């Protein structure tokens, strides 16, 4: 019996006979010679078979095998620089494990995106989607390594929550036994703040839900978000941490996902420019610049996606815009002592039009100021009892942020729409498969 | 200015003066000498201050500082084998950053569990809870490392899903725009199977929801689950992978979480016994043994928690019970060719009464058999169209399992109730904080 080998590991078996298990990705056959491309999730390999070299039964099975049939092939590994992956198999056998059929929905041609999304469970088998999923996996692991190596404690925050949140209008809700309504969390931040008082530096990293009726290429109703929270860290410390993290993620993809970025035809020179420090401009400067460019923004407005793209176009790496007006941001952000009309916060905007990767802030640690802000925004004070406790019992300077995983994957991969950056995207119009 | 140092890093600063930022965990003071215990999330350290050595203002602040006030202390690091963590600070200064008060809810005494859960945001600050959260963090990272090092691709599966699932009776549901009802996923398995056909070996690891009215020490309505899925892996391969994973997790905790296991007074000799291979007994043998022990179980019943504990008590490490009757298990499990009344599955039962850690199976890969099972169980065939596609287009042998994170943490930590093994437990009666 020959050894089962993953396609990615063929380099270690040159000159030997191996078995590869996978799916038939493509086939060309003349009367005498057949070229098969097999994929196994770790890569693609071309196999070559001559009719004269094999039994009639084997040749017959090669003729039968359809696109996306699952197969077990045996062959001799040959180094071949021209082949994808650098190796070729001289095939001696093929077994069909599971037939496919001519009605396989996704053919090697262009399809409309609605059709592809409806067949997402099969679309994921194509090389471009495999590459995106592998880059996502690498970035997830890079995030976990980065946080762990710096002593952060991963504390998972709850999805099902009582009344608390930024704004109930954009929350999904469900009945919860005899306790009334539960909401699906938009953020773990408030819990992270409690956890930071227990453990120092913490993070959560899980799915997040927004019932927003947004139909842009940057919005999903369910997406993954990394949210670190750091005790004894001010807004400047927060931005320094963010640029270190983002630079690390990009360098890790360049180091370990090179084959995938090539598959995606990503211009890696754009990623190589991403090193700290990142440029920082204040909200005030951003508004001046936008007005000079003809934008109708006035001081006090939040920046829209177009504004962000306009500001970011001057830079070859992500840019921080910091210290926004209080009225444009959430109640928990710390008042700026140097300009109390503003708060100590930052948005990190990706280059090349990929938009906001991160929103972060130092948190308001003064009990009275926080209470006043909750009241000003008309939020129910009674729901924030435990959150206010953090300012009553040993309050402390702390900061944190949220990094959107799919937006980061889209930027690193150079993918236009974030719906391709999660396996089963959920949008206003899509809940399946 | 002295250097800010984490308590865990004091060993590198013996003989030097440092600043530690944290919270006052305990204080004893006579008229002339004060002993303070400070925690910072990375550990505890005792500081000693003599009235005669410091300014009157400093001594006054030490008298004022309450339990759980946040403080910045400066002092000389001394090695001291008797001290917790092996170091002591000779204090020269203390600043109070955030006052606390005498009504701090959680005192250094016994409280009832309902009270503690109601104050979970503060309860998490206590050493036992810090230790559990740190072990959980270590196990999460160990899982991520184990999967990554073996070439698995993390593919996050959706929480919000259409009609598909094991049984709608135990699902939370929410309105989803104009698309009707969305359910919160109980498992990512069916999606994992599609992903395995694209990427070979995959896993999801995220929160999972069960709207079950269970009130046991082993049930939560929201919990985290690791779910690997492996193409070209049969039931035996599946069990071998499970025992390798679980043994690795235990060895990793023994290696890197020793201080936390000591804090929890865990008998580590029980954990040291956990090495592969794990014993395996068939469902048939388990029933015979249970009947001999006086259980009323009859062939065909699923094993209850008490049955599992009875079977597991004979072993010093987790035990597999494999190949249950079809009627006791889910529709997607593969029929056992050697005994078609049963399916190719396994439950992995922890020792010491901690119950089921894992449920796994080889999946039914025959289209007609799977379709028949869906119909037999009265499930809506139309909801399983995309899942059935996986058997229509290149079906393949594959297996996978689900490992409950909180149950694993409870077992490793020796914690009786899994509500302490997640930061903000969600149960039938609890949705806050």
Residue pLDDT, tens place only, A12-68: 999 999 999 999 999 999 889 999 999 999 999 999 999 999 999 999 999 999 999
Q: Across residues A239-244, what is the average pLDDT?
A: 98
- For residues B211 and B172, the answer to whether their CB atoms sit within 8 Å is yes
Q: In this structure, are strands A44-50 and A87-98 parallel, antiparallel, or unpaired? A: parallel
The answer to whether A40 faces chain B, any CB pair under 8 Å, is yes
Is the domain of A58 the same as that of A190?
Answer: no
Strands (DSSP E) contained in B220-330 are 222-231, 280-282, 319-322
Examine residue A430 and state whether it is found in any structural domain, yes or no.
no
Q: In this structure, are strands A201-209 and A153-154 parallel, antiparallel, or unpaired? A: parallel
Give me the pLDDT at residue B102, please: 84
Which one of B394, B428, B431, B433 would you mutate to disrupt binding with A, by most A Cβ within 10 Å of its Cβ? B394
Of A70, A121, A176, the CB nearest to B394: A70
- B residues 103-122 lying closer than 8 A (beta carbon) to A: 104, 119, 121-122
Examine residue B210 and state whether it is found in any structural domain, yes or no.
yes
- For residues B105 and B123, the answer to whether their CB atoms sit within 8 Å is no
Give me the pLDDT at residue A162, please: 87
Is the domain of A157 the same as that of A295?
Answer: yes
Residue pLDDT, tens place only, A270-291: 999 999 999 999 999 999 999 9
Is the domain of A93 the same as that of A197?
Answer: no
Checking if the pLDDT of A321 tops 90, the result is: yes
Give me the pLDDT at residue B164, please: 64
Shortest distance between the Cα of B312 and any Cα of chain A, in A, equals: 30
Is the domain of B322 the same as that of B361?
Answer: yes
Higher per-residue pLDDT: A250 or B383? A250
Burial annotation A18-40 (CB, 10 A radius, 16+ → b, else e): bbbbbbbbebeeeeeebebbbbb
Higher per-residue pLDDT: A7 or A378? A7
Residue A214 — very low, low, confident or very high, per pLDDT cuts 50/70/90?
A: confident
Q: Across residues A414-428, what is the average pLDDT?
A: 97
Considering chain A, what is the average pLDDT of its residues?
Answer: 95
pLDDT by residue, tens only, chain B of 433 residues: 689 999 999 999 999 999 999 999 999 998 899 999 999 999 999 999 999 999 999 999 999 999 999 999 999 999 998 888 899 999 999 999 999 988 999 987 889 999 999 999 999 999 999 999 999 999 999 999 999 999 999 999 999 998 665 565 689 999 999 999 999 999 999 999 999 999 999 999 999 999 988 888 889 999 999 999 999 999 999 999 999 999 999 999 999 999 999 999 999 999 999 999 999 999 999 999 999 999 999 999 999 999 999 999 999 999 999 999 999 999 999 999 999 999 999 999 999 999 999 999 999 999 999 999 999 998 889 889 999 999 999 999 999 999 999 999 999 999 999 999 999 999 999 999 9
Please report, for the domain that includes residue B332, its CATH number.
3.30.930.10
Residue pLDDT, tens place only, A354-384: 999 999 999 999 999 999 999 999 888 988 9
Examine residue A428 and state whether it is found in any structural domain, yes or no.
no
Is the domain of A173 the same as that of A231?
Answer: yes
Give me the pLDDT at residue B214, please: 85
Shortest distance between the Cα of A30 and any Cα of chain B, in A, equals: 24
Is the domain of A240 the same as that of A290?
Answer: yes
Is the domain of A334 the same as that of A217?
Answer: yes
Residue pLDDT, tens place only, B78-107: 999 888 889 999 999 999 999 998 899 998
What values do phi and psi take at A235, rounded to 5? -65, -35
Q: Across residues A112-138, what is the average pLDDT?
A: 97
Handedness of CA B1, B6, B7, B10 (dihedral sign): negative
Is the domain of A188 the same as that of A273?
Answer: yes
Helix (H), strand (E) at residue B141: helix B127-149
Residue pLDDT, tens place only, A148-206: 999 999 999 999 998 665 565 689 999 999 999 999 999 999 999 999 999 999 999 99
The verdict on a CB contact (< 8 Å) between B184 and A175 is: no
The verdict on a CB contact (< 8 Å) between B207 and A99 is: no
Is the domain of A262 the same as that of A390?
Answer: yes
Give me the pLDDT at residue B55, please: 95
Please report, for the domain that includes residue B51, its CATH number.
2.40.50.140
> In terms of CA atoms, which chain B residue is nearest residue A232?
B21
The answer to whether A259 faces chain B, any CB pair under 8 Å, is no
Higher per-residue pLDDT: A89 or B167? A89
The answer to whether A69 faces chain B, any CB pair under 8 Å, is yes
Give me the pLDDT at residue A168, please: 57
Checking if the pLDDT of A250 tops 80, the result is: yes
Is the domain of A47 the same as that of A125?
Answer: no
Which one of B101, B152, B198 would you mutate to disrupt binding with A, by most A Cβ within 10 Å of its Cβ? B198
> In terms of CA atoms, which chain B residue is nearest residue A395?
B98
The answer to whether B129 faces chain A, any CB pair under 8 Å, is yes
Q: What is the pTM of this model?
A: 0.97
Shortest distance between the Cα of B358 and any Cα of chain A, in A, equals: 20
The answer to whether A429 faces chain B, any CB pair under 8 Å, is yes
Residue pLDDT, tens place only, A135-148: 999 999 999 999 99
In the A/B pair of chains, how many CB contacts fall below 8 A? Answer: 271
For chain B, the domain total comes to 2
Burial annotation B313-326 (CB, 10 A radius, 16+ → b, else e): eeeebbbbbbbbbb
Q: Across residues A298-317, what is the average pLDDT?
A: 95
Checking if the pLDDT of A109 tops 90, the result is: no
The verdict on a CB contact (< 8 Å) between B206 and A201 is: no
The verdict on a CB contact (< 8 Å) between A156 and B423 is: yes
Give me the interface pTM, i.e. the ipTM: 0.97
Domain extent for A170? 120-421
The answer to whether A225 faces chain B, any CB pair under 8 Å, is no
The answer to whether A95 faces chain B, any CB pair under 8 Å, is no
Paired tokens of B259: 């201080």
Q: Considering only CB atoms, which chain A residues are within 8 Å of B201?
A: 41
Shortest distance between the Cα of B249 and any Cα of chain A, in A, equals: 16
- A residues 264-293 lying closer than 8 A (beta carbon) to B: none
Is the domain of A174 the same as that of A81?
Answer: no
> In terms of CA atoms, which chain A residue is nearest residue B214?
A177
The verdict on a CB contact (< 8 Å) between B99 and A41 is: no
Is the domain of A154 the same as that of A75?
Answer: no
Examine residue B151 and state whether it is found in any structural domain, yes or no.
yes
Of B122, B137, B222, the CB nearest to A159: B222
Give me the pLDDT at residue B108, please: 75
Determine the Cα–Cα distance for residues B269 and B292; give it in Å rounded to an integer. 30
């Amino acid at each position: 019996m020959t050894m089962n080998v993953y396609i990615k590991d063929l380099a270690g078996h040159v000159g030997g006979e191996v078995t590869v298990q996978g799916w038939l990705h493509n086939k060309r056959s003349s009367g005498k010679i057949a070229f098969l491309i097999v994929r196994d999730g770790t890569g693609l390999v071309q196999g070559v078979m001559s009719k004269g070299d094999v039994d009639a039964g084997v040749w017959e099975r090669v003729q039968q095998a359809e696109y996306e049939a699952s197969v077990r092939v045996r062959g001799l590994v040959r180094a071949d620089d021209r082949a994808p992956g650098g190796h070729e198999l001289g095939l001696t056998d093929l077994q069909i494990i599971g037939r496919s059929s001519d009605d396989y929905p996704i053919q090697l041609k262009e399809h409309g995106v609605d059709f592809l999304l409806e067949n997402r469970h099969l679309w994921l088998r194509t090389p471009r989607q495999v590459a995106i999923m592998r880059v996502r996996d690498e970035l997830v692991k890079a995030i976990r390594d980065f946080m762990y190596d710096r002593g952060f404690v991963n504390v998972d925050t709850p999805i099902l929550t009582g009344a608390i949140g930024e704004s109930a209008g954009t929350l999904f809700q469900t009945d919860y036994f005899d306790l009334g309504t539960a909401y699906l969390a938009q953020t773990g931040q408030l819990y992270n703040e409690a956890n930071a008082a227990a453990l120092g530096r913490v993070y959560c990293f899980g799915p997040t839900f927004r019932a927003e009726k947004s139909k842009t290429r940057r919005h999903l109703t369910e997406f993954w978000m990394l949210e670190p929270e750091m005790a004894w860290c001010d807004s400047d410390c927060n931005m320094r941490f963010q640029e270190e993290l983002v630079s690390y993620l990009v360098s890790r993809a360049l180091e370990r996902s090179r084959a995938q970025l090539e598959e995606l035809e990503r211009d890696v020179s754009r990623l190589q420019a991403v090193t700290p420090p990142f440029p920082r401009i204040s909200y005030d400067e951003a508004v001046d610049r936008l007005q000079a460019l003809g934008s109708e923004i006035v001081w006090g407005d939040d920046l829209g996606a177009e504004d962000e793209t306009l500001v970011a176009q001057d830079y070859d790496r992500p840019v921080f815009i910091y210290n926004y007006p209080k009225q444009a941001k959430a109640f928990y952000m710390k008042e700026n002592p140097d300009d109390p009309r503003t708060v100590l916060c930052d948005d990190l905007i990706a280059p090349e039009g990929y938009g906001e990767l991160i929103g972060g802030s130092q948190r308001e640690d003064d009990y009275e100021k926080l209470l006043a802000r909750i009241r000003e925004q008309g939020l129910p004070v009674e729901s924030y009892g435990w959150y206010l406790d953090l300012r009553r019992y040993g309050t402390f300077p702390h900061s944190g942020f949220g990094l959107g995983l799919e937006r980061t994957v889209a930027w690193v991969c150079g993918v236009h729409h974030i719906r391709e950056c999660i396996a089963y995207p959920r949008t206003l119009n899509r809940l399946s498969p």
